[in-house]
Structure 1
Amino acid sequence: MSHRSQASTSSLRSSLEIVPYTPLGAQEIEDTLVDLAHPYTGVLDLALGIKADGVSIQPCKATASQDRYVVEQFSLVEGGGMWTLTGVFDGHLGDATVEHTAHHLPVIIQEFLTKEYARSPGAVSHPASVARILKHAITSFDRDIVRDVAQLFPDGLGASLDKLSDAEIRAVINDYDNGLKNYKKVQLCLYGTTALVALVDPKRENVWVANLGDCQAVLASRRADGAWSSEFLTRSHNGTDEREVARVRDEHPGEPECIKNGRVLGAIAPFRCIGDQPFKLPPSFTRRVLFNLDPGYTNKAPWEQFLRRNLTPPYISADAEVVHRRIVPTRAPGAQTNHFLILCTDGLGDLYEDVRGKQELADRYMRAVVGPVPKPFSVDENYALKLLRSALGGEDLDAVSQLLTVQTEKTWLDDTTVIVQLL
């Protein structure tokens, strides 16, 4: 019942030194990266060269990636300006919840913004109002996952679970005759995902970043002298953040094992997520509902280790932290881009073995995108792929080859997803 390995890249590279791999030439590396990472570009404003590049990689072919990302645009009113929403999601335990979130959460955010605009058009012009809407949309989305399951039981989860036998519960949730509609709703409670969403207004004067978990957002800005600077917009909601540890301990006084070995209830790394209902609901929900979900659990011991610590849920929060920044948009064709945004899952940071501190990591990300000598951005170059290549080893062909082609059936890299969005 573990979220992920947190081994450093230095220990990773040393552990792979005795494992066979295939040395690749420069062109072979480019081709392999394209095959594995599936580079994508979403053009947001062709005239101004504004776009968002994305990649997602899991080089172990025996393992399916549980990362997802989105690049979308929408209008709040017919003929209105286009809002841009980008996001990265790092799923765990399974891919049902991360797939559901990547597909539906952008729709929910759009609906919340549209309703607020219909009620008061000026509200979406205020940064604090948009931040509130983002937070509300995300918490409501997570709450609806449980609500949809509760509605399967007429008397509600509490009373129904007290009255129904395991066989009766299984009949409700393993609904093969109904196309497994109920089954899929319950699955969303079992699995979880982090979420990092960026929203940019139609004039591209404001950017909001909403974060749950340990994905990362970095804003790079061009200074008056033409040099670039970087800023981390997120903090990691896990055991490495003292404020996050203090928050959970303050919410559960007298429970020394609410955090154990740097994990929530000793079991899961992210302290804020969508889904993961075993950490948000009483243990009876997991034992009576999730344990009865096919194919069942022959070994419940890992679950019981943390369920016995579940005394006063919730322990994991779906309350996103939202950061707002004003930006200076590109106004004319051919003008230089003043800002770009990097969104990534934590797998990217794990690839930087020698970084000391968040600011150095943000600077490394930024420099990988702009290059040693900054030059105008090109619609034809995928900057997410450029950043990923740098993280894997850059021009060190042997280092990149090793991480892409090591011959083992076991996963050696965390799923890694990157968006580079020009603003």
Structure 2
Amino acid sequence: MVYSTVSLQAATSTENLQALEEVKDFCTTDLGRGGRERWTYHLLPEAALNVELHRQSNASSSRSVDSVTFQPCAAYADLNQDRYSIEEWELPGGVWEFTAIYDGHCGHDTVNYVHKRLPSMVRMSLQALLQSVPITSLKSELVSEALCNAVRHLDESIRSDLFDFLPHDRLTKMSDIQLDQYVSRRYSEWNAISSRCTQGSTVILALSDPLKKNLWILNLGDSMAVLGSRSLSGKWSAIIVNSVHNCDNPSETHRIRREHPSEQACVRDNRVVGYLAPTRALGDTWLKVPSVYTRRAFAPHLQDWLPPRQVVEYASRILTPPYVSDLPEVYHYSLDISKQEVFLILSSDGLQDMYDSHDIQWSDQEMADRWVGLVGRHMHSTKDVDMQGNLALRLLRDAVGGNNTELVSRNLTLEMEDKWMDDITILVQRFR
């Protein structure tokens, strides 16, 4: 056997020092999991932290809304599934403001569909209402109803596309070979429909009238809305607007069990049929239609969805659908911005998750108080140059570590293929 010999020149002392300089700010962490595995991160100087946070979170400010949307993991499969809208509509009576966060799960198709279609559906519904009722005579419950109807109509459109493509009676009569041929002939159409049916999105939105006298907030899912207001004495107070629609909310699990009596598996392992954490959402149609769609249509004809064993397990629990609701809750607040300063925080559940992961366990009210206090302190700051006046960015910095530069650095630069935090989207809306 002949061996080739490679001669390498020894590094100079200067090259050794340069190599050490390049890695001196790199650290490792076990993420508190214990065990032998470690992940590398880059310890950034304070001056660079906010710059990098601003870049990664796509921080932006409009006339009245600051926004961030953040997912530091760069792996393609874990790209941010949150979306948001900030729109102003010129309608009868003046300019209405619409803001919303859509938190997608299990993929991007449904959340993209919701993000594209819901604002225009709300606008058309509101416009039709304003054309029939003058804004001076408009009752708040009519706007609430219009918002609710727009959301439910959007969810109904996802189911309608499925039933138009594959009616229930036709599906039950088809053989496996016939179904396979039918789907293959129209695969592009089927792929779009089935993706929206097996993925989902929560939504939380806010709508304010031209004079900023009325604020409507709609929630479907586990995002959060917090209203901050300052009294004449200068003290800020926080109101959590909405209840959270997931299995951590006892009233939601009780509702599902009440709707499905004698079905022990309707909620299992703190998830709907053991699968989904949100109890109300757009999409997730397979949990709203007969199980034959899961067994015969989605499982065999949708790539990379669920392993066969899980399909059998979940389908066996779908007895009396729907299990996930598309009925939102709508809240109305009367505002008087001439007498008190008011702002609204909308956030996807990733923001709450960051505080739940801290050593101190926060209640929802404690989190809300902290957020409102933080935004209130910096609302009129003239020294907030490092955050470029973006109040949502200020909240994000607090969530990912605050003044702990090592923790912020870790959360921003961790070298890991799996997500180490949920997607975080925050909108802070000021009413003037």
For normalisation by structure 2, the TM-score amounts to 0.85
Q: Secondary structure at the match of 1:151?
A: helix
Q: Secondary structure at the match of 1:413?
A: coil
Does structure 2 retain, via aligned residues, the 8 Å contact 1:97–1:193? Answer: yes
Partner of 2:90: 75
Instruction: Write the distance in 1 (CA, Å) between the matches of 2:310 and 2:73.
Output: 26
Q: Secondary structure at the match of 1:197?
A: strand
Does structure 2 retain, via aligned residues, the 8 Å contact 1:206–1:325? Answer: yes
Partner of 1:366: 372
Q: Does 1:256 align with 2:264?
A: yes
Instruction: Write the distance in 2 (CA, Å) between the matches of 1:83 and 1:172.
Output: 46
Instruction: Give, in angstroms, the shift of residue 163 of structure 1.
Output: 2.5
Aligned AA for 2:151?
I
Aligned AA for 1:57?
F
Instruction: Give, in angstroms, the shift of residue 12 of structure 1.
Output: 9.1
Instruction: Write the distance in 1 (CA, Å) between the matches of 2:416 and 2:211.
Output: 49
Partner of 1:28: 48
Instruction: Write the distance in 1 (CA, Å) between the matches of 2:111 and 2:165.
Output: 22
* Cα deviations by residue, 1:343-365 (Å, 9 ceiling, x for unpaired): 01111111112243221110111
Q: Assess, with a 3 A threshold, how the Cα gap between structure 1 residues 210 and 182 changes in structure 2: closer, same or farther.
A: same
Q: Assess, with a 3 A threshold, how the Cα gap between structure 1 residues 121 and 191 changes in structure 2: closer, same or farther.
A: same
Q: 2:72 aligns with which of 52, 59, 64?
A: 59
Partner of 1:341: 344
Does structure 1 retain, via aligned residues, the 8 Å contact 2:350–2:422? Answer: yes
Q: 2:281 aligns with which of 273, 286, 293?
A: 273
Q: Assess, with a 3 A threshold, how the Cα gap between structure 1 residues 372 and 38 changes in structure 2: closer, same or farther.
A: closer
Q: Does 1:162 align with 2:172?
A: yes
1:291-330 equivalences under 5 Å are 291-295=299-303, 299-329=307-337
Aligned AA for 1:14?
G
Q: 2:415 aligns with which of 390, 407, 411?
A: 407
Instruction: Write the distance in 2 (CA, Å) between the matches of 1:325 and 1:105.
Output: 22
Aligned AA for 2:65?
A
Does structure 2 retain, via aligned residues, the 8 Å contact 1:280–1:316? Answer: yes
Instruction: Write the distance in 1 (CA, Å) between the matches of 2:272 and 2:180.
Output: 29
Aligned AA for 2:172?
D
Instruction: Write the distance in 1 (CA, Å) between the matches of 2:178 and 2:383.
Output: 60
Identity %: 33
Instruction: Give, in angstroms, the shift of residue 94 of structure 1.
Output: 0.6
Q: Assess, with a 3 A threshold, how the Cα gap between structure 1 residues 391 and 124 changes in structure 2: closer, same or farther.
A: farther
Aligned residues: 394
* Cα deviations by residue, 1:126-174 (Å, 9 ceiling, x for unpaired): 1111111111111111011110221224xxx221102233444445545
Aligned AA for 2:130?
Y
Does structure 2 retain, via aligned residues, the 8 Å contact 1:12–1:412? Answer: no
Instruction: Give, in angstroms, the shift of residue 182 of structure 1.
Output: 4.2
Instruction: Write the distance in 2 (CA, Å) between the matches of 1:380 and 1:32.
Output: 13
* Cα deviations by residue, 1:86-114 (Å, 9 ceiling, x for unpaired): 11111111110011111111111111111
Q: Does 1:113 align with 2:126?
A: yes
Instruction: Write the distance in 2 (CA, Å) between the matches of 1:408 and 1:36.
Output: 16
Q: Assess, with a 3 A threshold, how the Cα gap between structure 1 residues 294 and 262 changes in structure 2: closer, same or farther.
A: closer
Does structure 1 retain, via aligned residues, the 8 Å contact 2:378–2:391? Answer: no
Q: Does 1:132 align with 2:152?
A: no
Q: Secondary structure at the match of 1:343?
A: strand
Q: Secondary structure at the match of 1:371?
A: helix
Q: 2:363 aligns with which of 357, 362, 366?
A: 357
For normalisation by structure 1, the TM-score amounts to 0.87
Q: Does 1:100 align with 2:106?
A: no
Instruction: Write the distance in 1 (CA, Å) between the matches of 2:263 and 2:203.
Output: 27
Larger mean CA deviation between 343-352 and 368-377 belongs to 368-377
Instruction: Write the distance in 1 (CA, Å) between the matches of 2:136 and 2:190.
Output: 37
Does structure 2 retain, via aligned residues, the 8 Å contact 1:90–1:195? Answer: yes
Does structure 2 retain, via aligned residues, the 8 Å contact 1:355–1:361? Answer: no
1:131-280 equivalences under 5 Å are 131-153=144-166, 157-173=167-183, 180-280=188-288
Q: Secondary structure at the match of 2:153?
A: helix
Partner of 2:399: 391
Gaps of 5+ in 1: 1-10, 44-50, 331-335
* Cα deviations by residue, 1:46-91 (Å, 9 ceiling, x for unpaired): xxxxx111111111111211111111111334xx411111111111
Q: Assess, with a 3 A threshold, how the Cα gap between structure 1 residues 144 and 280 changes in structure 2: closer, same or farther.
A: same
Instruction: Write the distance in 1 (CA, Å) between the matches of 2:248 and 2:298.
Output: 30
Q: Secondary structure at the match of 2:115?
A: helix
